[in-house]
Structure 1
Amino acid sequence: MKQVKIELCSAARLSVAPMMDWTDRHCRAFHRVLSRRALLYTEMVTAPALVRGGAVHLLGFGETEHPVALQLGGSDPAELAVAARLGADEGYDEINLNVGCPSDRVQSGFFGAVLMEQPGLVADCVAAMIAAVPGHVPITVKCRIGVDEQVPETVLPDFLQQVQSAGVSRVQIHARKAWLKGLSPKENRDIPPLNYDLVVAMKAAFPDLHISVNGGITDLDQGLGLIERGLDGMMIGRAAYHQPYDILSDADRRVFAASHTPLSRTEVVAAMEPYIAAHLATGGRLNQISRHMLGLFAGQPGARAWRRTLSDQAHRPGAGLEVVRAALAAVSEAQIDA
């Protein structure tokens, strides 16, 4: 039991944030090729969909994705307990409660960032989840520093104290407020100012709480700088998705002190071919995987040719590995011309 927790805490030194419509199982398979060690998260899955809707197919993942965490959305302790148990039974290494998403759909379902206003309810939810899963599966919380007119310096310590008292030992804090009134979900990712200092202060105030910081981290140097200030981990979202090679390819060496040599971008493509072939053999479509690989050559000569070839051809009926190979050939040609 203790060994699993230690490994997860180590993996949480770098995690890829849960992102709706992005971090599906194909995205995670691709990211795992780039990094063997980073902790990967699912898209948010709502407890009502699992428990009332019977949508257990949403829990599917591949064994190569470990360590992998399931993020749940919900606000009913009993329902979340059942959903957490389903996730644990499926084999997820961690179950995470979303207390940070600001979308209208999430608010109408009374979960996500709106729960920052209900720390007692969040504590009840995580306590029920902890009681429902085996002891080696941690329940964690991803939250904001506050919402709307809340004063983060006041509400965040109280929030953390309540969830820690309920049994949570790891949290991920998006270092921005969420404005539930007046800003769109996209605007909430950029407009509210970042407050890394507050997150660092929370680690000092809660030394026994494992705290990862999320929000606005664009490269490993920045994230490692925050860890050097005392935080336990960094959680990277959009940068890891749009520049996956830059963030993840050398992360095992730089973040986890691993000794293996990073794969080249071409080797990453080759490593993905068996996964793609297996998906196609079951009737899957190429673009279900290739859409997550569009940023592989970001910032490199040939990046546009790579994206264009995949975007133009991968969605066509019958598209297969020949499209991926053609995209790679287009990169090589562009690099020769550069």
Structure 2
Amino acid sequence: MSAQKNVVVREKIDKMSSEVVDTNPYSRLMALKRMGIVDNYENIRNYTVAVVGVGGVGSVTAEMLTRCGIGRLILFDYDKVELANMNRLFFQPHQSGLSKVEAAAETLKHINPDVDIMTYNMNITTVDNFELFTKILTTSNLSNGPVDLVLSCVDNFEARFAINSACNEFNLSWFESGVSENAVSGHIQFIIPGETACFACAPPLIVASNIDEKTLKRDGVCAASLPTTMGIIAGFLVQNTLKHLLQFGQVTNYLGYSALTDFFPTMSLKPNPSCDDNQCRLRQKEYAAKPKPEVAVEAKEEDQPFHEDNEWGISLVDESVEVKDNKINVAEGVTLAYTVPKQESVEECEEATSSNKEISLDELMAQMKQI
């Protein structure tokens, strides 16, 4: 009976293959071509994506990319699989004790053996490992050049800043992602060096949780561990990765998710001209020097507006937000991860210094006596 079922399944697969020429039988992107969304979904095989952090979001992200038939997948992490990780959508109990990248590669190769998987069990924030990390990012695509995209799925600021520094230095586009400690909100943010705000331009953007964080702190409990939230954020991340690589739809600049209110805040963020990262400022100058495509404007017969009346007060506005001196008005439902204290400008410091020099010691002592 089972043999007959296998024959039927094989016949269905052969029929499907005759309808759409598919040289990548493990890819799950045929629908994009059938629906006319992309010209050739198999182009996904030409791209290399690096996933940094193979935890709750990163492991599911790696699985989705593998099922989509990505050409090469590079995984970075330095943790081991524990039984506490079994609330994820990916790891299995028998993998406990293995490094996360080793366990991930083992599973992913069974899902799609056509994907070239490279693994690095390393902490990218150390000095030596950071140099190796940047070398891998710049020399490991299918043509021995830089990777096509970097996906940050880490859970700490130190690793995010390391990724930000590497991508700014070598002009690599990347997605930052995260899930809140209360596990009911998360976000993704697309960062193009020089064109959009980098991770150092302003305090990171997070989704407002509307919940008391103090009630979440429990010893021995990993708060950010809902497989639903992590799966949703991973889906956002891979969906926009596909749009960026295969060039269809509109890639989001920032997309948040709040499970408590089913709210999805979006916004775009311009780079900060006074960013602390000097490589970011350099990329901004390079981007500003690039010739911008001209926007075609149709000639009008009359200078009068097409609609003489605007009863509803409709207007077109620019949703992008400019960052200046770490001051930013964020979109509704989004907040800053922390507040940066105001820094005095060079002129203010020089003025304060010069004014102090004009006061003599006798005058200063006289002022002290009056206090």
What TM-score, normalized to structure 1? 0.29
Structure number with higher helix proportion: 1
What TM-score, normalized to structure 2? 0.27
Larger radius of gyration: 2
